[in-house]
């Protein structure tokens, strides 16, 4: 492993000190510090070709070759992307002066400075919420020109007629203007309520709830199951996970970034 004295940056810049391996992995965007420790103790991390399981081990980011599951990890300001299965009752903000439960309490914000949610889910909506430290990707995903689709499962009161569903599909007029055409499918009816799958690419405040209300069927439960190319899958309510490399590439593309940016 690298020396324990500060080394000068390759370009003659400020010295970089050897750092704990779990800190290196966290800063490289591999995983949170806790999860990085799990990766180490599971024997999945190698430094200069040797498995390192000792949690206090140090590496020099400019000298040592670190691999996780055989893939080289490079250090620097690697962006972080993670998804949370947001539960109901949490507001989408990283701090709340009124002390209400907020999503910041559910993600490792201390490990990843600059982490913020991409868009919002309202307090009573649950499901997929993406977080990133990468401002330009977050911006790109929310930009209307990129038409990033979000899919929701909406349980609504009663049983909308086919005509009402056609209205949702074509676009309804809300108090902030008409909605763009949406994909709407009826998934299930149980006599008292109906489950609709609704995919939209706009991101107006409480849009799905307002769309359902506009056809006379209040939404009684709302879950987001996909965001662009990402699917919630079986992630437990209240849990978060890092995106895989493939998922991170796919959202960068959805945000209009090239793979080289
Ligand atoms: N539409 C809503 O009504 N609520 C959300 O949180 C997201 C979309």
pLDDT tens across 173-223, in order? 999 999 999 999 999 999 899 999 999 999 999 999 999 999 999 999 999
Q: Which residue has the higher pLDDT, 135 or 141?
A: 141
112 confidence band (pLDDT: 50, 70, 90)? confident
Residue 9 lies in a domain: no
Q: Which residue, judged by its Cα, is nearest atom 4 of ligand 1?
A: 206
- The rounded Å distance from CA 74 to ligand 1 centre is 37
- CATH number where 240 lies: 3.30.70.580
Residue 64 lies in a domain: yes
Q: What is the pTM of this model?
A: 0.75
Residue 89 lies in a domain: yes
Q: Which residues are catalytic?
A: 122
Residues 44 and 164 reside in one and the same domain: no
- The rounded Å distance from CA 85 to ligand 1 centre is 14
- CATH number where 25 lies: 3.10.290.10
Residues 93 and 216 reside in one and the same domain: no
pLDDT mean over 64-90? 85
Residue 8 lies in a domain: no
Residue 6 lies in a domain: no
Bridge-partner residues for 184, per DSSP?
A: 198
Q: Which residue, judged by its Cα, is nearest atom 6 of ligand 1?
A: 121
Q: Which residue, judged by its Cα, is nearest atom 7 of ligand 1?
A: 121
The yes-or-no verdict on residue 251 having pLDDT over 50 is yes
Residues 92 and 62 reside in one and the same domain: no
How many structural domains compose the chain?
A: 3
Residues 220 and 92 reside in one and the same domain: no
Report whether residue 194 contacts ligand 1, using a CB cutoff of 6 Å.
Answer: no
Residues 94 and 220 reside in one and the same domain: no
Residue 13 lies in a domain: no
Residues 136 and 247 reside in one and the same domain: yes
Report whether residue 201 contacts ligand 1, using a CB cutoff of 6 Å.
Answer: no
Residues 26 and 61 reside in one and the same domain: yes
Residue 161 lies in a domain: yes
Residues 214 and 159 reside in one and the same domain: yes
Domain with 37, as residue range(s), is 19-73
158 CB-near residues (< 8 Å, 6+ apart): 192, 193, 194, 216, 217
Residue 246 lies in a domain: yes
Residues 153 and 222 reside in one and the same domain: yes
pLDDT digit string, tens, across residues 137-185: 998 999 888 899 999 999 999 999 999 999 999 999 999 999 999 999 9
Q: Which residue, judged by its Cα, is nearest atom 2 of ligand 1?
A: 206
Residues 160 and 223 reside in one and the same domain: yes
Report whether residue 206 contacts ligand 1, using a CB cutoff of 6 Å.
Answer: yes
Per the CB < 8 A criterion, the answer to whether 140 and 146 are in contact is yes
pLDDT mean over 83-107? 95
Residues 140 and 155 reside in one and the same domain: no
Report whether residue 208 contacts ligand 1, using a CB cutoff of 6 Å.
Answer: yes
Residues 99 and 205 reside in one and the same domain: no
8 confidence band (pLDDT: 50, 70, 90)? very low
Report whether residue 122 contacts ligand 1, using a CB cutoff of 6 Å.
Answer: yes
């Amino acid at each position: 492993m690298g020396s324990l004295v500060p080394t000068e940056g390759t370009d003659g810049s400020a010295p970089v000190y050897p750092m704990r391996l779990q800190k290196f992995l966290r800063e490289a965007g591999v995983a949170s510090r806790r999860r990085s420790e799990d990766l180490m103790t599971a024997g999945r991390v190698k430094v200069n070709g040797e498995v390192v399981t000792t949690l206090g081990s140090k590496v020099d980011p400019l000298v040592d070759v670190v691999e996780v599951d055989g893939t080289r990890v490079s250090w620097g300001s690697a962006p972080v992307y993670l998804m949370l299965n947001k539960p109901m009752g949490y507001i989408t903000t990283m701090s709340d002066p009124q002390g209400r439960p907020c999503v910041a309490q559910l993600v490792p914000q201390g490990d990843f400075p600059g982490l913020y949610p991409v868009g919002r889910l309202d307090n009573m909506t649950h499901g997929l919420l993406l977080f990133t430290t990468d401002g330009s990707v977050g911006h790109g995903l929310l930009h209307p020109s990129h038409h990033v689709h979000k899919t929701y499962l909406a349980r609504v009161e009663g049983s909308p007629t086919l005509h009402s569903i056609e209205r949702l599909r074509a676009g309804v007029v809300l108090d902030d203007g008409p909605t763009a055409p949406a994909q709407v499918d009826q998934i299930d009816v149980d006599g008292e309520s109906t489950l609709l799958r609704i995919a939209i690419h706009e991101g107006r405040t409480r849009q799905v709830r307002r769309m359902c209300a506009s056809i006379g069927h209040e939404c009684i439960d709302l879950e987001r199951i996909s965001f662009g190319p990402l699917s919630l899958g079986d992630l437990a309510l209240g849990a978060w996970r890092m995106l895989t490399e493939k998922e991170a590439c796919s959202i960068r593309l959805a945000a209009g970034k090239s793979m080289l940016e």
